[in-house]
Structure 1
Amino acid sequence: MALATENDLLKRARTWLAEDPDPDTRTELRALLAAAEGGEPSEDECRAWSELAARFSGTLQFGTAGLRGELGAGPMRMNRAVVIRAAAGLAAHLKREGHTGGLVVVGYDARHKSYDFARDTAAVMVGAGLRAALLPHPLPTPVLAFAVRHLGAVAGVTVTASHNPPRDNGYKVYLGDGSQIVPPADASIAAEIDAIGSLHEVPLAAEGWEVLPAHGDGGIVDAYLDRAVAVTDPHTPRDLAVVYTPLHGVGRDVLLGAFARAGFPAPTVVAEQAEPDPDFPTVAFPNPEEPGAMDLAFRTANATGPDIVIANDPDADRCAVALPDPGSPAGWRMLRGDEVGALLAAHLVGKHADGTFATTIVSSSLLSRIAAASGLGYAETLTGFKWISRAPGLRYGYEEALGYCVDPEGVRDKDGITAALLIAELAATLKSSGRTVSDLLDDLALEYGLHATDQLSVRVSDLALIPAAMARLRREPPTSLAGLLVESADDLEQGSADLPPTDGLRYRLSGAPDSPVKAARVVVRPSGTEPKLKCYLEAVVPVASAASLATARATAAGVLSALKKDIAAAAGIDV
């Protein structure tokens, strides 16, 4: 490393150290500086310089997802200094928008440093002349989203990294309508953050914020639960056995409270994953979609014999569902987010829902068929609930990544608690008539055709591989995939009348007249929250009769497998 670069890194690190309010990260940074300046060249010294370069090479960028990153000292990590700057930028933006004196509600999960970040946010808001209210303890993100609307706040903040690895934390911002921020609000807040000079210039109140009660008079959890159980019909069946896991997150008590208030039997909770634990010791990644994350839930289910298995991610804004499957090695099959999305849509149609059904460009096209057949509006948005929540006339929205909004007037974001309640109501209703959730999935395939989806998700250690893959696809677009003709290739970076620009590519495919496959679709995009390249796949296979369902599923599986192989080859990525 050049001397000028070393001196620059040392200067930045020492300046940061002088302002850092957290003794933990100060100790960590001092140790790195000591190792870097150790004198004799060594592996420890090289590692320290590499770490300093990674931490001080720029700043975490505030975007529509707020902030998310690895915990640690430095501007490229999540820490109290970064959070104080972000909170100050948000406060300045709110005041510029005329919200001086307005209420900001702050929630947090049970990850490392979450409470510290939440308390710092409240201190910054009060110091800036706004009012602040902390949620009473670690709670699901949907409770915070609900609180923003319920309390008439001008903004909300939740400290969570959702289903990211244990080393991460994050900072998500909601505006006064209870929706996540979208441009240009993100750029305005980012500009205010950049305008902050020394951290010592940010006023931090020592007191003055409110801590909301959970229960009783004005209890925010009680208010949320009252709203949540209203998504179900009290006259529908309640006989249902459920195994539930919160995956070491904060969903358990709220979900159990919701099931009890709605009149369902108490779910059997996976004991090893019941308590909040920021280290997520039983899983490699605390995401129900990741391999192995549901193993303990399936083990518990095999021992207790429930009707369904339900899981929340750690901040309980997502909901996963598994059904009995004797043919699976685990005895259970995880439903894809698109399957749950279609089930909830069909259930809401049966409950005479009215309004717009919305999903994203990477989710299944089946929702559009269900909406059209039911005479309902349909909208398709960019990926993320910050876009879904803004669909005009929204009544129901979902995205394939296990996120469902079933009560947009209560929680204008994905909500894993209310989604679980509706799935339980649907399963219990089917059970009362001698049917299963799998039977309803078969019915949907017979009525609309089998819409099979899958995903190729490639986690990378070298972030440069992601833009390289996107550039290669733009430079050499495929003309066929899985033996299907590419009918159209859309570069989503160009935007359209319906969609803002985004870094993504969409390929629509069609089968030959004699092909059993009617259509297919591939969407490729970088993940917005993780170091992943994601390829979203769909194959549509007509189903003539119940007897041909197995053949249709085998055909779709073969097409999806071939799509994975071919799009990976076209992008130049190893899988």
Structure 2
Amino acid sequence: MNPQLRDRVADWIAGDPDPATRAELATLPESELAERFSAPLTFGTAGLRGPIRAGPSGMNVAVVTRTTAGIAAWLQARCLGGSVVVVGRDGRHGSAVFATTAAEVLAAAGFSVRYLPGPTPTPILAYAVRALGAQLGVQITASHNPAADNGYKVYLDGGAQLISPADREIEAAVAAIGPAADVPRTPVHPAEETGLVRDYLDRAATLPRGSERDLRIALTPLHGVGGKVAVEALQAAGFAEVHTVAGQFAPDPDFPTVAFPNPEEPGATDALLELAARVDADLAIALDPDADRCAVGVPGPDGWRMLTGDETGALLGDHVLATQPAGSDPLVATTLVSSALLGRIAAARGARFARTLTGFKWLVRAGSGLVYAYEEAIGHCVDPDTVRDKDGMSAAVVVADLAATLKARGRTLLDVLDDLAVEFGVHATAQVSWRVDSTRESAAAMDRLRSDPPAEVAGEPVTADDLLERRGQDRTDAVVLTGSRVRVVVRPSGTEPKLKCYLEVVEPVTDRADLPRARAAAAEALRACERSLPHPG
């Protein structure tokens, strides 16, 4: 074995407090060890995420221990030692052990630890940080990743995800921590924090603005941890008839009935839509496994279908703005990869609009007066004063309020989408992902795009805007191609060796009778966009 690699592996094994992962490393061939020790997990979207496995590039007790010790040192360096911190977890493999590890390391470092009992939806953890005035929240979760993964999500004071430079500073603090086995731990008992959930539900009950409650709802948490709280939130808001997918309701870390536990993936919501059709529901709702994202299904002339995140974003944004008090100055926000429709709705409704970088760590910091934010990946923040992050459960309550209000008027969510299309034009969106062999290859593809951007897309002249040339918080690794009715955003994935392309076509509509033509034209233009994109190969 390479002597340097051999020494690194031996040092890690000597400092790993978990006998299971020590034994795992001792059995691996050199090629596998080289891969696992090539680079540690790094902070991506507000924390760590990766496969559950031994070594510095996986989620395991040693990595969680050192990460938590680094965060504790970072807080102490800012005179925040002894402050309140909250620790929660989802129901994935390893989550209970990792959450206990984090809680015990923080307790040994002198912090006042509130360790939430049992599997908990991520929005409850974000709410707890805000409600308890905590300086830190740690949620052990991998959201909608495959069953083999886990993660470590960090919230700071106020309940928002951390942003730079805090993430880089924390990484530096973690790098300075010695062997995990030397990090002190103090036993912590889970807190009786049922009052937090009760307070969250009380707040959810106030979110509906309408008085109508006649609505039959089908719901699935996709084997995640949000089912019970989501049903209770809907019932607290007055929506009594909630039918759930029985085989997907209890938390199950193996996600046995879905190939991929993400409501956006093909087939993931089949059981939900079958239930919705069987019980003659008015609305279908799918949460992702940690309940921070919400997908919406509706019945239509051709049967049930799931709305896109952009469709739900436009519906909820318009609904939230319509229910704001007179004289207020509301702000709504979305991301640079989401549809432009929300901005047009805001302008027409006399509201302010902001477009941020991708991720709710940016969206919830969009500005004062924020009342609603969404991203196209089915994330919605409908109550920023309570949860400063995406929250699938409160979003379910608000979309149910809209659907019930419309039902009482003999209308549907699809009718409102038609209204918006007539008023603002059809905004058709799609996403194309290209998998490459490595992040180096995706970086090279972005370099080629920057040096020679296309002059036209789908036969329409476009201009290129390289967001790496911007300063401050608007700077990111993305290129935006904009034409008169076409917009394309190309960026590398933050977690996988992929290039992602977000497409949008706007097709004007003359009247309601023109909608079929406009939608068909927009769909064809999207296909033309995809055909004309510069392939990374």
Instruction: Tell me the TM-score range normalised by the shorter chain.
Output: over 0.9
Q: 1:351 aligns with which of 317, 323, 337?
A: 323
Unpaired runs of at least 5, structure 1: 33-47, 511-518
Is the 2:83–2:111 Cα contact (8 Å) retained in structure 1? yes
Q: Corresponding residue for 1:250? A: 225
1:212 aligns with 2:176: no
| CA displacement at 1:350 relative to structure 2 | 1.8
Distance 1:314 1:461 in 2: 28
Distance 1:531 1:316, change over 3 A: farther
Which deviations, in whole Å up to 9, do the C-alpha atoms of 1:80-104 show, x marking residues without a partner?
1111111111111111111111011
Once the two structures are superposed, the pairs formed by residues 213-232 of structure 1 within 5 Å of their partners are 213-215=192-194, 219-232=195-208
Q: 1:337 aligns with which of 282, 299, 309?
A: 309
Q: Corresponding residue for 1:19? A: 15
Distance 2:536 2:47 in 1: 31
| CA displacement at 1:365 relative to structure 2 | 0.8
Distance 1:462 1:184 in 2: 26
Is the 2:17–2:62 Cα contact (8 Å) retained in structure 1? yes
Q: 2:144 aligns with which of 158, 163, 176?
A: 163
Is the 1:229–1:418 Cα contact (8 Å) retained in structure 2? no
Is the 1:84–1:124 Cα contact (8 Å) retained in structure 2? yes
Q: Corresponding residue for 1:285? A: 260
Distance 2:161 2:530 in 1: 32
1:200 aligns with 2:181: yes
1:520 aligns with 2:486: yes
1:489 aligns with 2:464: yes
Distance 1:212 1:266, change over 3 A: farther
Distance 1:85 1:258, change over 3 A: same
Distance 1:432 1:94 in 2: 52
1:571 aligns with 2:535: yes
Distance 1:20 1:326 in 2: 58
Q: 2:410 aligns with which of 419, 431, 434?
A: 434
Counterpart AA for 1:20: D
Distance 2:281 2:23 in 1: 49
Q: 2:443 aligns with which of 467, 471, 475?
A: 467
Q: Corresponding residue for 1:503? A: 477
Distance 1:454 1:58 in 2: 33
Distance 1:16 1:78 in 2: 14
| CA displacement at 1:460 relative to structure 2 | 4.5
| CA displacement at 1:496 relative to structure 2 | 4.0
Q: Corresponding residue for 2:75? A: 94
Q: Corresponding residue for 1:539? A: 505
1:72 aligns with 2:53: yes
Counterpart AA for 1:288: P
Distance 1:339 1:81 in 2: 43
| CA displacement at 1:413 relative to structure 2 | 0.5
Which deviations, in whole Å up to 9, do the C-alpha atoms of 1:158-191 show, x marking residues without a partner?
1111011111111111111111001111111111
Counterpart AA for 1:454: A
Is the 2:44–2:495 Cα contact (8 Å) retained in structure 1? no
Distance 1:259 1:107 in 2: 23
Is the 2:273–2:305 Cα contact (8 Å) retained in structure 1? no
Unpaired runs of at least 5, structure 2: none
Query: TM-score, normalising length from structure 2?
Result: 0.96
- 524-533 vs 189-198, greater mean Cα deviation: 524-533
Alignment size in residue pairs: 533
| CA displacement at 1:118 relative to structure 2 | 0.9
Q: Corresponding residue for 2:381? A: 405
Distance 1:25 1:304 in 2: 47
Is the 1:243–1:310 Cα contact (8 Å) retained in structure 2? yes
Distance 1:378 1:54, change over 3 A: same
Q: Corresponding residue for 1:29? A: 25
Q: Corresponding residue for 1:425? A: 401
Distance 1:414 1:489, change over 3 A: same
1:457 aligns with 2:433: yes
Distance 2:427 2:499 in 1: 23
Which deviations, in whole Å up to 9, do the C-alpha atoms of 1:19-73 show, x marking residues without a partner?
22223322322222xxxxxxxxxxxxxxx33221111112111245211111100
Q: CA RMSD in A?
A: 1.5
Distance 1:262 1:256 in 2: 10
Which deviations, in whole Å up to 9, do the C-alpha atoms of 1:255-280 show, x marking residues without a partner?
01111111102321112211111111
Is the 1:180–1:386 Cα contact (8 Å) retained in structure 2? yes
| CA displacement at 1:461 relative to structure 2 | 5.3
Is the 1:212–1:220 Cα contact (8 Å) retained in structure 2? no
Task: Give aligned-pair identity as a percent.
Answer: 54
Is the 2:320–2:371 Cα contact (8 Å) retained in structure 1? no
| CA displacement at 1:210 relative to structure 2 | 5.2
| CA displacement at 1:221 relative to structure 2 | 1.2
**Secondary structure, aligned partner of 1:57:** coil
Is the 1:105–1:133 Cα contact (8 Å) retained in structure 2? yes
Is the 1:457–1:532 Cα contact (8 Å) retained in structure 2? yes
1:556 aligns with 2:522: yes
Q: Corresponding residue for 1:10? A: 6
| CA displacement at 1:440 relative to structure 2 | 0.5
Counterpart AA for 1:300: L
Which deviations, in whole Å up to 9, do the C-alpha atoms of 1:428-469 show, x marking residues without a partner?
110011001100000011111111111112344544432232
Q: 2:235 aligns with which of 245, 260, 264?
A: 260
Distance 1:238 1:155 in 2: 38
Q: Corresponding residue for 2:117? A: 136
Counterpart AA for 1:423: V
Distance 1:456 1:11, change over 3 A: same
| CA displacement at 1:214 relative to structure 2 | 4.3
- 356-365 vs 195-204, greater mean Cα deviation: 195-204
Distance 2:142 2:448 in 1: 31
Is the 2:44–2:494 Cα contact (8 Å) retained in structure 1? no
Q: Corresponding residue for 2:452? A: 476
Counterpart AA for 1:504: A
Distance 1:458 1:243, change over 3 A: farther
Q: Corresponding residue for 1:39? A: none
Counterpart AA for 2:373: G
Query: TM-score, normalising length from structure 1?
Result: 0.90
Distance 1:75 1:124 in 2: 18
Distance 1:403 1:423 in 2: 13
Counterpart AA for 2:343: S
| CA displacement at 1:211 relative to structure 2 | 2.3
Is the 1:63–1:187 Cα contact (8 Å) retained in structure 2? no
Counterpart AA for 1:270: V
| CA displacement at 1:229 relative to structure 2 | 2.0
Distance 1:542 1:69 in 2: 44
**Secondary structure, aligned partner of 2:483:** strand
Is the 2:207–2:237 Cα contact (8 Å) retained in structure 1? no
Is the 1:250–1:276 Cα contact (8 Å) retained in structure 2? yes
Distance 1:392 1:82 in 2: 35
